[in-house]
Structure 1
Amino acid sequence: MSEALISALRPLLPKGLALAACDPAAEAKGLWPIETAAIARAVPARRREFAAGRRATRAAMAILGLPPTAIAMAPDRAPLWPQGVTGTISHSAGTCMALVGLSEHWAGLGLDLEPALPLPEDILTTICTPTERAALAQDPSGLLSRRLFCAKEATYKAQYAQSRRLLSFHDLEITFDGSHRFSAQLQIACPPFARATRFAGHSLQAGDMLAALVTLPRL
């Protein structure tokens, strides 16, 4: 599945970004000491997932010609990117992906992976704004709810590199343009981003997986 996702995502990547994947079910190996310490108390499944994310990150960095290094975990549990590097890591059943770029060119990156299944009905009001809920009625596939969730998660990750602020689901409103593109509009001010700021993203499906991608160029 990761091969199909990577094949679908790579044509959407701007020049200068690198994407790599690892199996989160594989043995939790390849960690540097500071990474091992960060998950010392984690359950085995979490250790395998974490290790896959770090291996994928180093593989993506190698594509850019960057040397391998530890990717520590910050107090907020986000990856602590090396000097000059920014990125995003996403996990889903069967795959873990890392997207990496140079921070001199990219202010933030966001990638999210989700199963191609509708969200449970009982959480739709938590995830979706009233406008988004209205759009769900026009979706015969039933997948729009999950696509909205995936797009919001990718946007949260991308903006967090600059704002360091956790947003609620109603703080963003997603609009799809009928193809692979979407717009995520801030419903609040989130410095350095003003209220009504729009983030552009891509949404796609590969087999039984959905992916959303947001890249914020350095201005």
Structure 2
Amino acid sequence: MRSVTLLQSMAVDFAGQRVPSVISENMLPRGTRCVEMHSSATDLSNYYRLHPTEQQLVEHAVDRRKADFGDSRWCAHQAMRAFVDDQPIMRGERGMPVFPDGVTGSLTHTDGFRAALVGRSSRWRSLGIDAEPAGFLPEGVFNTVARPEEQRRLRRLARAHNLDYLDKVLFSAKESTYKAWFPLTRRFLDFDQADIDIRPDGTFTSYLLLRPVPVPFIEGRWAIRHGFVVTVAGVRRH
């Protein structure tokens, strides 16, 4: 794949051609870079372009897993080069990507979409990104992931602003919150351990309910664009 000039937000298809971004630049935490790849292909080209130590992390996986892994890490390497020399991105506990010194970041992949969000670790303690196909959660899942107060707020929000798929927005916000939480604590965060306030202006706040916590809440942004629900979150250094 040919190289492309990196902007704060960049989206390409598998051939390297520019396409409209799902995650707009006004969603991004200040000073971060986001790279997206839009493709439904199960192609291992990007996997085989990885450093051998990265390939080994999923060498026994099925081809679809290798393709998702290679494509999302391609995005991460493209974003990371804005800050540091390119180096392998390893894997830590619970699959957390371990970035080289000087940067922190997060990866996501779903059908037709892969992306990575990267920033300087001197500014950001952790980052989280998640993407899901736009649509409603399967029956019964909403009651599993949403606290009663979250359910009530989302129903009011949907009625007041005629918004669809807020259940999926909440699910995605919990995923990006977890990705921003885990590097700080190395502790699991269950769905009911964060109370997330989704707001109609495209922002959300995740209030952490377990103790002790490194921060009382995590802030983020959400959007529904081009057939995807996307959320980003970050914890700044003070």
Q: Give the structure-1-normalised TM-score.
A: 0.90
- Cα 1:41–1:24 change in 2 (3 A) is farther
- 8 Å CA contact 1:24–1:49 kept in 2: the answer is no
Q: How does 1:1-219 map to 2 (within 5 A)?
A: 3-6=19-22, 8-22=23-37, 23=39, 25=41, 26-27=43-44, 28-64=47-83, 66-138=84-156, 139=158, 141-193=163-215, 197-219=216-238
- Cα 1:57–1:217 change in 2 (3 A) is same
Look up the equivalent residue of 1:29 and give its one-letter code.
Answer: Y
Q: Percent identity?
A: 29
- 8 Å CA contact 2:27–2:222 kept in 1: the answer is no
- Cα 1:75–1:161 change in 2 (3 A) is closer
- 8 Å CA contact 1:165–1:190 kept in 2: the answer is no
Look up the equivalent residue of 1:19 and give its one-letter code.
Answer: C
1: CA distance between counterparts of 2:225 and 2:93?
34
- 8 Å CA contact 1:136–1:142 kept in 2: the answer is no
Look up the equivalent residue of 1:114 and give its one-letter code.
Answer: E
Note the residue ranges of structure 1 that are not aligned, 5 or more in a row: none
Look up the equivalent residue of 2:193 and give its one-letter code.
Answer: D
2: CA distance between counterparts of 1:177 and 1:142?
13
Deviation track 1:54-113 (CA, whole Å, cap 9, x = no partner) reads: 11111001233x211111112432112111211000111111101111111110101110
2: CA distance between counterparts of 1:75 and 1:14?
25
Deviation at residue 142 of structure 1 after TM alignment: 4.2
- 8 Å CA contact 2:154–2:198 kept in 1: the answer is no
Deviation track 1:23-46 (CA, whole Å, cap 9, x = no partner) reads: 463323311111111111111100
Q: Secondary structure at the match of 2:56?
A: helix
Deviates most, 161-170 or 130-139: 130-139
Look up the equivalent residue of 1:34 and give its one-letter code.
Answer: T
RMSD over aligned Cα atoms: 1.8
- 8 Å CA contact 1:53–1:90 kept in 2: the answer is yes
Residue-pair matches, total: 214
Look up the equivalent residue of 2:191 and give its one-letter code.
Answer: F
Deviation at residue 201 of structure 1 after TM alignment: 1.0
Q: Give the structure-2-normalised TM-score.
A: 0.83
2: CA distance between counterparts of 1:170 and 1:106?
25
Deviation track 1:149-186 (CA, whole Å, cap 9, x = no partner) reads: 01111111112121111110000111122211111111
